[in-house]
Structure 1
């Protein structure tokens, strides 16, 4: 197995180096197969976690060699200068906190883990910005991702049905969920954990909706609804409730955004949502009758409790960890990496405690109050820029698909931010960080893509506006 994966990995790296434009295909190939090989190799080596990052690093290096050093700043500063100051301050803070944790805990691995968690999406933004040259190219990536997501969902369902292949096992001991008066198994399919699988499947469902509403010729609402429901059932079978909430938030804000910018077409989105809900009900009540239905209903019933628990969980995991972090490390934070997965193995055990479970708590415990303030500033500046991008997309009367495309990417990122605020462990995965950074880079590339597609020189005035 080592030999086969080495061959696959080497081919992906070579492809990325020779043509950086093909890096995303190589990233998806390694990202969705690395866990399969890890499960099949004795000892389940942890090194497989970073393989996708290595492929991406090769592609990024190839890009930077060809584009030059100016490529590092163009995605952030070409179309807006409003984020320059908070971005520079944030990068300076990362460097300071890197050395803080390095000298405090005496192990560079802790600092490097933290630097990777913040730096990987930043570098992926740069790559995504240059990679996204037109809407159809991005849509082709989305289509590939959706197809793979459906495959992952099928493997989750196969695991639920009792197929006991080694590649369907969770890495390690596996997760048992004690809920609904019974013990539920977290089915992960070909991914290493149910949580990772749930993110990819839920993301595939979001991308499928973006593809549907930005297609030149829309297909059947029913077929799309059936696919989305199947993906959501797979999410339920992982036992990871937060990803059902993630998808619900995406749909809610997507429909609201369309209603705000284009009230006349909102009814179509609402109708599709109703079709999805109806297909979901039919799937549970008719397609899965009897004992099988009762079994799957335990997962669905657990998943739907996420709504009633949302407010309490947001306070407990989203807000309270800020205070817990302050009690542990003070206002200035404890340094990069101490709130990241794996830091406990390298001299930072129990430093962060439960304060790193929520996103705000993780930022507070690693970067301190200055980190929260700078990121809030950066977020506000970024929000203003995003609104300008959406207004620009909505103004393209000759190509109305731009609004649905831009809004879909924005809402996908926003839903991930809300999920991150209450669950950070998921966002320590390199593959997920690369994909999120790439999505953000695609968003920043939309003004350039619109300029290229419309060939209107007047739109270049956007580059000097704040």
Structure 2
């Protein structure tokens, strides 16, 4: 570990110990910086990916020391709607962790599996308490800070594309070489360690920009600025070679518009139309990108091959609708059936389909093909019981949010817009998870998802107490005398007119 990394960790840890609420901001700094720092470190050690977990752990400990309640029961409506499916799901995860250790004798695989499946849980509670103390304004400021820092780091994708050869640019390892549309292309990651990580942050910034532009009273300038920035982000995301980020952006916007239309009176038909458009867009993108791991990008030689690339995309696009049933089946049902046939109803064990366990999986001849799709990954690591419990938990969470958001819509439009954006963001990530699971083994990404869910669960409580709402002062009668500047009465003043009208 180099001196720069140690200095950043010490500074971030010190600021977090002074105020645990600064921990979420420091996690963004460390989470974004850990990839370029890893490229500078000798040997590029893999433990750099969990540096953000150190800062999050310090924030959690500091919050516990100042007696902040960190149990899930502090969440409004938890016991009534979410307690039973959550604890059953947690018990199953722990049981599958022991299954992994007994079957393969690998504490590393078991630990990575527990980290992937359990890391979002403490993140949800800590973010809930953060939002309860900082309010909706604090949530918006955190989202803005993340967007700015991540966008600066994302600029490395363009720097790599134009041919800069800095040590902090490019993928760790051999990198992705893409053979498609009759040419050889390269996936760019910029300052991030992998192209799929860069693509995920690209889509997340786009979603957050949309939320921030509509969080307050939307204006034409904010909407145009947000659309322009989203278009720029999409162009950068294409250079990563991971077109699956289009799934997240498409589903996010469609889900947000659906929620707004569905919960407005007389707009239910429009809501269903928007939902249908989002579903068609999702299926179309899934059919277009195919279920393989390597996708397309723009190469650095854009002179002669440019026309051939465009022609290749057009030819490939003509077969989209004919191939849709086969390709949707390939990323959905087939991995699920294959996992059950090869590993049984109880799966292969926790961590077998997660990133970071490749060497262990090769030692035990574990075929990880099923983990490319979301359903296949759950069936491979948690088995069919895990799929059933996960479905129960998702349904329970959906019902809980439907009840809470209906109340928020009546109280505060400001909280409603932020809450709808967070719901759309989580739904978009669930849709992306069904197509590509690689990025969802990253600890920083899992923490961000947990924080967003915690912010969302806190919105009903914030709206109920009037957080962030401007309260109008009580009207003053035009004949009431104004006290002189600096006047502070020691006891309430009694005016003659008021005392004359007082009833005995």
Kindly report the root-mean-square deviation, in angstroms, between the aligned alpha carbons of the 2 structures.
Answer: 2.9
Assess if the C-alpha contact under 8 Å between 1:237 and 1:296 holds in 2. no
Provide the rounded CA distance (Å) in 2 between the counterparts of 1:318 and 1:349. 26
Q: Which runs of 5+ in 1 are unaligned?
A: 271-289, 457-466
* Counterpart position of 2:379: 364
* Counterpart position of 2:209: 208
Assess if the C-alpha contact under 8 Å between 1:90 and 1:375 holds in 2. yes
Flag the 1:293–1:254 CA change in 2: closer, same or farther, 3 A: farther
Tell me the SS of whatever aligns to 1:229.
Answer: helix
Q: Considering only CA atoms, is the larger Rg found in Structure 1 or Structure 2?
A: 2
> Normalised by the size of structure 1, how large is the TM-score?
0.86
Provide the rounded CA distance (Å) in 1 between the counterparts of 2:129 and 2:102. 37
* Counterpart position of 1:90: 89
Q: Select 1:392's aligned residue among 387, 407, 411.
A: 407
Residues 184-263 of structure 1: pairs in structure 2 closer than 5 A: 184-216=185-217, 218=219, 219-262=221-264
Tell me the SS of whatever aligns to 1:184.
Answer: strand
Tell me the SS of whatever aligns to 1:332.
Answer: coil
* More moved, 99-108 vs 216-225: 216-225
More helix by percentage: 1
Assess if the C-alpha contact under 8 Å between 1:321 and 1:356 holds in 2. yes
Assess if the C-alpha contact under 8 Å between 1:160 and 1:187 holds in 2. yes
Provide the rounded CA distance (Å) in 1 between the counterparts of 2:191 and 2:139. 25
Following superposition, the deviation at residue 312 of structure 1 comes to 4.1
Residues 261-276 of structure 1: pairs in structure 2 closer than 5 A: 261-262=263-264
Assess if the C-alpha contact under 8 Å between 1:129 and 1:442 holds in 2. yes
* More moved, 252-261 vs 117-126: 252-261
* Counterpart position of 1:331: 345
Tell me the SS of whatever aligns to 1:136.
Answer: helix
Assess if the C-alpha contact under 8 Å between 2:196 and 2:438 holds in 1. no
Provide the rounded CA distance (Å) in 1 between the counterparts of 2:179 and 2:422. 35
Following superposition, the deviation at residue 66 of structure 1 comes to 2.6
Provide the rounded CA distance (Å) in 2 between the counterparts of 1:238 and 1:187. 5
Following superposition, the deviation at residue 226 of structure 1 comes to 1.6
Asked which structure has the greater RCO (Cα within 8 Å, sep 6+), the reply is 1
Tell me the SS of whatever aligns to 2:43.
Answer: coil
Following superposition, the deviation at residue 89 of structure 1 comes to 0.7
* Counterpart position of 1:13: 13
* Counterpart position of 1:422: 435
Q: Deviations over 1:227-284 (max 9, x none)?
A: 11111101111010111121111111111221212379999xx9xxxxxxxxxxxxxx
Assess if the C-alpha contact under 8 Å between 2:73 and 2:79 holds in 1. no
Provide the rounded CA distance (Å) in 1 between the counterparts of 2:306 and 2:389. 49
* Counterpart position of 1:4: 4
Assess if the C-alpha contact under 8 Å between 1:75 and 1:445 holds in 2. no
Provide the rounded CA distance (Å) in 2 between the counterparts of 1:445 and 1:341. 31
Flag the 1:220–1:128 CA change in 2: closer, same or farther, 3 A: closer
Flag the 1:93–1:3 CA change in 2: closer, same or farther, 3 A: same
Tell me the SS of whatever aligns to 1:395.
Answer: helix
Flag the 1:215–1:76 CA change in 2: closer, same or farther, 3 A: closer
Tell me the SS of whatever aligns to 1:14.
Answer: helix
Provide the rounded CA distance (Å) in 1 between the counterparts of 2:380 and 2:304. 45
Flag the 1:339–1:143 CA change in 2: closer, same or farther, 3 A: same
Question: In the alignment, does 2:319 pair up with 1:319?
Answer: no
Provide the rounded CA distance (Å) in 2 between the counterparts of 1:6 and 1:414. 37
* Counterpart position of 1:43: 43
Tell me the SS of whatever aligns to 1:183.
Answer: strand
* More moved, 433-442 vs 418-427: 418-427
* Counterpart position of 1:374: 389
Q: Which runs of 5+ in 2 are unaligned?
A: 275-301, 470-504
